[in-house]
Homo-oligomer: A and B are copies of this chain.
Amino acid sequence: MSDRSLNALHHRRKKLADLINFPVILWSGCRTPRNYPANLFPFRASSHFIYFAGLPVENAAIRLEAGKLELFVDEAPASSILWHGEMPTRAEIAQQIGADAAFPIAELGARAKGAATIAVQDATTYWQQCQILNRVVSTANALSDIDLELAKAIVTLRLQHDDAAIAELRQAAACTVDIHLAGMAATSPGKTEAEIRAAMESVAIARNMTCAYSSIVTVHGEVLHNEHYHHLLESEDLLLADAGAETASGWASDVTRTWPVAGKFSATQKDIYQLVLAAHDACIAQVRPGVEYRDVHLLAAKVIAQGLIDLGILRGNAEDLVEMDAHALFFPHGVGHLLGLDVHDLEDLGDLAGYAEGRARSDRFGLCYLRLHRPLQPGMLVTIEPGFYQVPGILTDPERRDRYRDVVNWECLAQFDDVRGIRIEDDVLVTATGNEVLTSALPTQVEAIEQLAIARV
């Protein structure tokens, strides 16, 4: 690890010590079996462990107290050399991550008294946490006592990325730009979604990165978390791709582009695309310290509502329409979320990171899926991802059709039936005075998208 990275780690450990006055144990977790014990899913260390340890060490724990780090990990058994090659020793790992001491896992129990922790995601390690701490470790919805205090302290740290984090996030973003360029270049009518997905994900694999989440590569963009890839691409389709790289040490990117399969938007597709892009651009222009992220979301809603009025799909005045959640018929999700080690950063802690203290989710149709409701601060990385979708489950719902019967022009909407789903998403870093779009190398303009989508052989 570079001196700079080590300094960043020491700084994080010290800052944690400034916020709490009890010891902390963080587990990295273990690989989970796929179909039998020796066939495992790839390892993904707990993000909290990575944040303070810097390295995704399997089956390890760290104990943090007063800025010092103790590493707990077992040596690889001698027989593992045949199967896995020479493994780093405990001492080598300890040196690499700048540990102040290192012990076998068996000694963790004796050092566990009074320690706070965060529940890991794999059930096997979670039970170990409970056993070693000799108590039920609380999870996201029921965090309490020192675990809650620890979670709040970690949120404080992880909300605002330091330079070492931002360097990693830039790497993830750069790879993600190339993932999408590869997707556009690979697209043509008659291929399957799976083929485009392969072209995109192979960019990450080739750089020893992974995908930060299950890629969405679909001509049915109206299914928000679509994980099917079997459709054929038809000439008149739009392809919506939401895919992002994660660096080897776990930092994520999250980008969506929507492009025409045949390289050219239809007039109706272009109309809707332009209004989503207008929302995207207007929101990004608002991102700066002090701005309430919920206001950015409401701005997206208003720009989309106004655009739909201009196209004749909605009737009335944009502010009133947003007030009655009419925009959410077509833009039913939040405008974005925190991004960092997790693609929905810190979401393992529920809304603790996303919602400022004292705030809770609204139950309004147009706000309930908003994942971030805080004033923006320098060093925060957020996504901006407005969209337009024709979700049959929403638009054919009798109750909603009745409620919004006066404000939707259904005949007009029918003319836009070649637009099932459009989303445009970028990763936006809040800077001291404004923002920087980490994924700006990937174009958003209609003409540029058409050029890229048609540049293929």
A contact residues vs B (CB 8 Å cutoff)? 32-42, 44, 46-47, 78, 81-86, 121-124, 127, 140, 192, 194-195, 197-199, 201-208, 212-214, 220, 222-230, 250, 332, 341-344, 346-348, 391-394
Contacts and interface: CB of A to CB of B under 8 A. Distances in A.
Contact of A38 (B38, B86, B127, B347): B347
A204 B194 CA distance: 9
Contacts of A192: 206, 208
Given A332-B82, A393-B81, A393-B82, A47 B32 contact: no
Given A33-B121, A83-B223, A86-B392, 20 more contacts: A32-B32, A32-B41, A35-B46, A35-B341, A35-B342, A36-B342, A36-B346, A37-B121, A38-B344, A39-B343, A40-B214, A81-B391, A82-B224, A82-B332, A82-B393, A83-B225, A85-B226, A192-B206, A198-B204, A201-B201
B347 A36 contact: yes
Nearest to A34: B44
A15 to B, nearest CB: 22
Nearest to A203: B198
A227 to B, nearest CB: 8
Nearest to A389: B82
Q: Which of A78, A214, A394 has the most CB of B within 10 A?
A: A214
Contact of A198 (B82, B205, B220, B250): B205
6 contacts: A36-B348, A39-B344, A41-B41, A85-B223, A194-B208, A208-B229
Nearest to A122: B32
A221 to B, nearest CB: 11
A23 to B, nearest CB: 24
A32 B35 CA distance: 12
A378 to B, nearest CB: 25
Contact of A394 (B32, B82, B223, B344): B82
A393 B136 CA distance: 43
Number of copies: 2
B39 A220 contact: no
A226 B225 CA distance: 33
Contacts of A220: 85
Given A199-B202, A208-B230, A123 B122 contact: yes
Contacts of A207: 194
A32 B43 CA distance: 12
A317 B205 CA distance: 47
Contact of A202 (B42, B44, B81, B198): B198
A347 B37 contact: yes
Nearest to A194: B208
Contacts of A123: 32, 122-124, 127
Contacts of A37: 121, 140, 347-348
A448 B206 CA distance: 26
Contacts of A394: 82
A230 B209 CA distance: 11
**What are the 5 tightest A-B residue pairs by CB atom distance, in nearest-first order?**
A123-B123, A85-B223, A81-B393, A198-B206, A198-B205
A194 B205 contact: yes
A349 to B, nearest CB: 8
A78 B391 CA distance: 13
A200 to B, nearest CB: 9
A206 B183 CA distance: 12
Nearest to A341: B35
Given A32-B121, A121-B34, A206 B223 contact: no
A240 to B, nearest CB: 13
Nearest to A81: B393
A123 B129 CA distance: 15
A32 B120 CA distance: 12
B194 A201 contact: no
Contacts of A34: 44, 121
A392 B86 CA distance: 9
A84 B124 contact: no
A202 B192 CA distance: 13
Nearest to A50: B35
Residue among A44, A121, A332 with most chain B CB within 10 A = A121
